[in-house]
Structure 1
Amino acid sequence: MFAVGMGVLLFAFSSQNRANSGNRTRSGLICALAVGVMIAMWADFATEFTWPNLQHASHFYAVVSTPFPLLLLLAARASKVRAGATIAAATYMFIYIGMILVLPLFPAHPKLAPVYHPVDHMVPPAFPLLLIVPAVAIDVISWLFTRSSKSIAQPPASPGATLPRPRWWRDWLLALLFAAVFLAIIFAVQWPFSTFLLSDGADNRFFARSGHWPYFAKPGDWVNRFWDWDNDPITFKGMALAFLRAFISARVGLLLGSYLLRLKR
């Protein structure tokens, strides 16, 4: 599955770079949508670490800081469309919300014991992460950086003057900035939002507080409380590890994005 997704991603970006100017925006949109599908795939791989019940634990922030900055920055840098990261994050959320709304419409019954939680329909995933919020910030920062870079790289006034060379350390500083912004925003939005997802206000078809539990999960008050609150609290060490992961992920995302901009075949 992952290999197929990567193949589609490479094909989409190579087609974008070979497209003429009239089709480049449409090709860039397709690339951003393809990255959104990859985000949804990675979110599926990380499901067991990203339940709403785990979003007050330190390990959750280390997990989400590993794949998602890479993919969001890849979309922001390599897709030739405005708001590439936002489009990718919105695609991921649209896929998950679509599954939440559509899957329960199909009847299904468990055929393998033990059945602790009777269900009569297909079970959807939990509500998606609010990645669209840090994605908007990434797009804004990318736009501001591109604008400032263009103003710095204006043609020289005299014929003999040379253009300034691009500084190699800029992407490293950008990776630090993106990592800090991503981690700060995802903490600010997911901490209170996970509290809401475990409350009675989320017990409906859209947020699916109680709709995503499988048939082998024993009912109890544990489904509506936070786990690992005592064993894995938010600490400076835990958040430093999450920041390190976000920094490495962001730097790799910028590097891959620059490579995909040059990919032709």
Structure 2
Amino acid sequence: MTTIAPPAPALATRDRTSVEHSAIPWYLWAVAFASTSVIIGVTWDISWHRTIGRDTFWTAAHLAIYLGGAVAGLSCGWLVLATTFTGTERDKTASVSFWGFRGPLGAWVCIWGSFAMITSGPLDDWWHNAYGLDVEILSPPHMVLAAGILAIQIGAMLMALARQNNAPEGARGPQFLFVYAAGVLILMLATLGTEYITFPNDQHGTLFFLVSALIFPFVLVGLARSTRFGWGATGAATIYMGVTVIMIWVLQLFEARPMLAPILRQVDHMVPPAFPILLVIPAAAVDLLMTRMPGGARRLRQWGTAMIAGVVLMLVLGVVQWYFAEFLLSEGARTFVFAADQWDYNSSPGAWQYEFWSEPVTLAGAGWTALVTVMSASAGLWWGNWMKRVRR
């Protein structure tokens, strides 16, 4: 039997296109930098408030946050203008149209996020001047800021995802960038859930398991389904833990003093975030289950595998974090590495620091957690299948 080779020009064009999609363009590096700058700034800003108190708007932490927003908005705005007015026909075909302008889907999401972040800045400053300190992390201005930050993280993911899906199977650069962006997204979601899942004192209660079931099966199952990197969920969980641990270790190196009353405990350095959840272990279980599913598996098998992966994730997370939380409340964790027992300057010292703040999860709580887990994992599978088709 004779095999007919494609014409040489067509073959050369296809090879050139594959090489182009394997490379990482400057604007992907720009949005990766932007998402990193934002999450570092957010972590730093929370530490600033816990250590020093409310300060001027022009703190270094705020500048890092808004630098990330500006870089994402400007780089993606330039990309949209370049695609619209000077892009090739292929560039325009691989883009999304909005108000007559054309650009990648992720770029539009980043631009919206940048506008939301910039809007939240003066709104937050006015809020503090009018109402004083925040009682909770999620004040109205912070919710606008959080929406903008999430949009930039998701936009960065979508831009890396489109690059991955258009690149050859062996192109590692776009795959790693997608996993990195997903890890930063997990860190942002965990930061938004600080009041429910971050402190070890909460990690025996029903609310911890419910919020974890809402977030982690959705993100990790979706990521494991959509990435071409065999250990995508594990890689993203490693990024989440790694960035958090680095911030913990770096922040403790800087001396700082409270500047706003009431000062109820002595603080002499930046208060770091709590040690991250040991997410890498349950994430590895998700990867092991999801990668065994064939690409062309029937829908029923897909849903069944995703639900099992979500339940296994929460079971492993529950066992691992249950005992790790007990360790973090013990004297052995009060070291530079684990940074346990470090609290806000305006919190009164007491026995509450070493105790769990709620009753252990009940049987009814476990049942609700299982239901939320199944729904979250199912939504994650749908999201992952959608992400596998993203090309623009």
Q: TM-score range by the shorter chain?
A: 0.7 to 0.9
- Give the aligned residue type for 1:131: L
Among 378, 383, 389, the residue aligned to 1:251: 378
| Residue in structure 1 matched with residue 215 of structure 2 by the alignment | 67
CA distance in 2, matches of 1:134, 1:21: 26
Q: Is residue 222 of structure 2 the alignment partner of residue 92 of structure 1?
A: no
CA distance in 2, matches of 1:72, 1:124: 26
Alignment of 1:5-16 (within 5 A): 5-16=153-164
CA distance in 2, matches of 1:171, 1:110: 53
Instruction: In structure 1, list runs of 5 or more residues that go unmatched.
Output: 154-165
| Residue in structure 2 matched with residue 192 of structure 1 by the alignment | 323
- Give the aligned residue type for 2:321: Q
Q: Is residue 176 of structure 2 the alignment partner of residue 29 of structure 1?
A: yes
Q: CA deviation at 1:144?
A: 2.0
Q: Is residue 354 of structure 2 the alignment partner of residue 207 of structure 1?
A: no
Secondary structure of 1:169 counterpart: helix
Percent identity (aligned): 40
Bigger Rg, structure 1 or 2: 2
| Residue in structure 2 matched with residue 105 of structure 1 by the alignment | 253
Secondary structure of 2:299 counterpart: coil
| Residue in structure 2 matched with residue 158 of structure 1 by the alignment | none
| Residue in structure 2 matched with residue 177 of structure 1 by the alignment | 308
Q: Which runs of 4+ in 1 moved over 4 A?
A: none
CA shift in 2, pair 1:198/1:143, >3 Å: same
CA distance in 1, matches of 2:356, 2:234: 29
- 8 Å contact kept, 2:206–2:365: yes
Q: CA deviation at 1:248?
A: 1.4
- 8 Å contact kept, 1:29–1:79: no
1:145-194 CA distances to partner (integer Å, 9 max, x unpaired)? 23xx6xxx7xxxxxxxxxxxx53222221232012201211111011110
Bigger helix share: 2
| Residue in structure 1 matched with residue 362 of structure 2 by the alignment | 235
| Residue in structure 2 matched with residue 217 of structure 1 by the alignment | 347
- Give the aligned residue type for 2:288: V
| Residue in structure 2 matched with residue 53 of structure 1 by the alignment | 201
Q: CA deviation at 1:21?
A: 4.0
1:61-119 CA distances to partner (integer Å, 9 max, x unpaired)? 11111111111112211111110010000000001101110011122222211111221
Q: Is residue 266 of structure 2 the alignment partner of residue 118 of structure 1?
A: yes
- 8 Å contact kept, 1:58–1:235: yes
| Residue in structure 2 matched with residue 163 of structure 1 by the alignment | none
CA distance in 2, matches of 1:143, 1:95: 26
1:29-75 CA distances to partner (integer Å, 9 max, x unpaired)? 11111110000001101111121001111111111111111111122
CA distance in 1, matches of 2:223, 2:283: 10
Higher RCO (CA < 8 A, seq sep 6+) = 1
Q: How many residues of Structure 1 are paired with residues of Structure 2 in the alignment?
A: 243
CA distance in 1, matches of 2:186, 2:279: 10
- Give the aligned residue type for 1:49: Y
CA shift in 2, pair 1:177/1:13, >3 Å: same
TM-score under structure 2 length normalisation: 0.60
CA distance in 2, matches of 1:173, 1:21: 27
CA distance in 2, matches of 1:255, 1:186: 23
What is the root-mean-square deviation in Å for CA atoms of aligned residues? 1.4
- Give the aligned residue type for 1:73: V
Instruction: In structure 2, list runs of 5 or more residues that go unmatched.
Output: 1-148
CA distance in 2, matches of 1:93, 1:248: 25
| Residue in structure 2 matched with residue 264 of structure 1 by the alignment | 391
| Residue in structure 2 matched with residue 160 of structure 1 by the alignment | none
1:102-139 CA distances to partner (integer Å, 9 max, x unpaired)? 01112222221111122122211101001111111111
CA distance in 2, matches of 1:73, 1:108: 41
CA shift in 2, pair 1:111/1:48, >3 Å: same
- 8 Å contact kept, 1:99–1:124: yes
